[in-house]
Structure 1
Amino acid sequence: MLKKLLFLGILAISISTQAQKEKVLKLPSFDKPLFHYGFYLGANNNGYKVSYKPSNFSNPEIEVESSFGFNVGLIADLRLHNNINLRFEPGLMSNTKTLRFKHIAGAENVTTREVGATYLHLPLILKFSTNRLNNVRPYVLGGASYDHNFSSNERNSDDNFAGEFRTTTNNFMYEVGIGIDIYLSYFKFSPSIRGVFAINNEVKYDNKPNSAWTDPIDFLGTRGVFLHLAFE
């Protein structure tokens, strides 16, 4: 019993000492201005959500293999309230996905398409933060974006019969996430994890009817995860 009390006492002293050290606030006036700016870097792992509709092809199956890509952009932040900020985060988002059409060629000789995507990502985001706790401040966020896909091939006359899987150029997405603001000596570092979800159908259907590549698809939309590292 004495050992337990001694351990708890040492632990309490340690926590109290650490708390005293953390009371020195870094960047104490950072959140007071109406506007501030920054930039972000990050990585993404984006795939597609695929749903099917009735067609001439029984048991359609499209397997999506996602890959890691990158994000980079700028931040403009408007303080609406002590705990609410409106953010505009224009940037570029790039990655590649591989689609395997198992219902076309079977398991031994699967037909594949590689779909590259480079988006101009224009999100408008609401950030809801807790009160600051020493030099950290957790938050949640949510918003919507317009995404222009430079790699879509939407206007290309060649379709899957010529080896081109086409997607739409103009897309809309929403994103949600959680993160934490960490106040350092010279800047604020804000890592967050975000999920991004397409609102519209991104597939551009083939020119010929009854295409095995696109006719079974009812909805194909980006779905992925971001690791977002902001410097403000």
Structure 2
Amino acid sequence: MKRIIIIFILFISFQHVNAQLFSKEKIRNLENFDKQRLSWGYYLGFNSYDFKFDYKEHPSNDVLVQKNIGLNIGLVGSLRINDYFDIRLEPGVVFANRNLTFPGIAEDNLREVKSTYVHIPLLLKFSTKRINNFKPFIVGGVSTSFNLSSNQDNPDDNSAGEFRMMKNTYYYEVGFGIDLYLLFFKFSPSIRGVFAMNDELKPDNALNSPYTGNIEKMSTRGVFINLTFQ
């Protein structure tokens, strides 16, 4: 009975909030903001990067990835196509950190992978009709990044403690968010999935390396939570 009462209260509360936010007519902030052909801004955010491994032969134990919280900062340039579509360019810098554990190796099996990316997404944003001072949207597109921390050209490999990654990565991205029209600026929190399309691993020199010998492909996948100000 208590659960039923709690669910009922939550349902009534949601209906009340929904009516207040979306149904009741309010003063519209930044009435002409979306009529601009070009608009600019910046974003701050967080990321959680992971690796997806494809193997040549199915291993008894997968490579373990410990994810850590990273930071995103960058600029936003938006080109209005019509009331519903915008093209966005969002160049920025991404700081990511992952720890890899190779369970099949008794000693020296931990590698810390710190990466600093120059990340350049080209995105298409589709927005719904504006409701008072809110406008939900979805976004998707492609991106590329240059890994400033890459040691691709380092002759040393894991036998000398060096886990090597390629310099360039290509991704596809998809996400959603909401535009909030405040008194002096537009604030847009969003969440986005980022998925690498190419192999980022620079294999060890030895073909039978216990670290990379059985890895067919290693590619990034991650989640961005960005707070955009325009």
Same topology, TM > 0.5: yes
Which of 18, 31, 34 is the aligned partner of 1:31?
34
CA contact (8 A) 2:22 2:131 kept: no
- Structure 2 unaligned spans of 5+: 1-11
Q: Report how many residues are paired.
A: 216
Per the alignment, residue 8 of structure 2 pairs with none
Identity of aligned residues (%): 46
CA contact (8 A) 1:152 1:168 kept: yes
Correspondence 1:95-106 to 2 at 5 A = 95-105=96-106
- Structure 1 unaligned spans of 5+: 1-7
Distance in 1 between residues matched to 2:186 and 2:148, nearest whole Å: 32
Which of 156, 164, 172 is the aligned partner of 1:166?
164
Per the alignment, residue 141 of structure 1 pairs with 139
Paired residue type of 1:38: G
Per the alignment, residue 4 of structure 2 pairs with none
- CA-atom RMSD in angstroms: 2.1
Closer/same/farther in 2, CA of residues 15 and 102 from structure 1, 3 Å limit: closer
Matched, 1:208 2:199: no
Which of 19, 39, 47 is the aligned partner of 1:44?
47
Distance in 1 between residues matched to 2:38 and 2:171, nearest whole Å: 25
Q: TM-score, normalised by structure 1?
A: 0.88
Closer/same/farther in 2, CA of residues 17 and 221 from structure 1, 3 Å limit: closer
Paired residue type of 1:74: L
Correspondence 1:163-202 to 2 at 5 A = 163-202=161-200
Closer/same/farther in 2, CA of residues 33 and 210 from structure 1, 3 Å limit: same
CA contact (8 A) 1:52 1:60 kept: no
Closer/same/farther in 2, CA of residues 137 and 59 from structure 1, 3 Å limit: same
Per the alignment, residue 154 of structure 1 pairs with 152
Distance in 1 between residues matched to 2:105 and 2:19, nearest whole Å: 62
Measure how far apart 1:110 and its partner are: 6.7
Larger radius of gyration: 1
Correspondence 1:77-92 to 2 at 5 A = 77-92=78-93
Per the alignment, residue 124 of structure 1 pairs with 122
Paired residue type of 1:41: L
Distance in 1 between residues matched to 2:161 and 2:175, nearest whole Å: 37
Q: TM-score, normalised by structure 2?
A: 0.89
Paired residue type of 2:114: G
CA contact (8 A) 1:42 1:227 kept: yes
Provide Cα deviations, 1:74-107, integer angstroms capped at 9, x if missing partner.
Answer: 00000012100000000000111100000122xx
Closer/same/farther in 2, CA of residues 16 and 65 from structure 1, 3 Å limit: closer
Distance in 1 between residues matched to 2:28 and 2:21, nearest whole Å: 15
Moved over 2 A (4+): 14-20, 58-61
Distance in 2 between residues matched to 1:175 and 1:116, nearest whole Å: 22
Distance in 1 between residues matched to 2:188 and 2:21, nearest whole Å: 26
Closer/same/farther in 2, CA of residues 15 and 168 from structure 1, 3 Å limit: closer
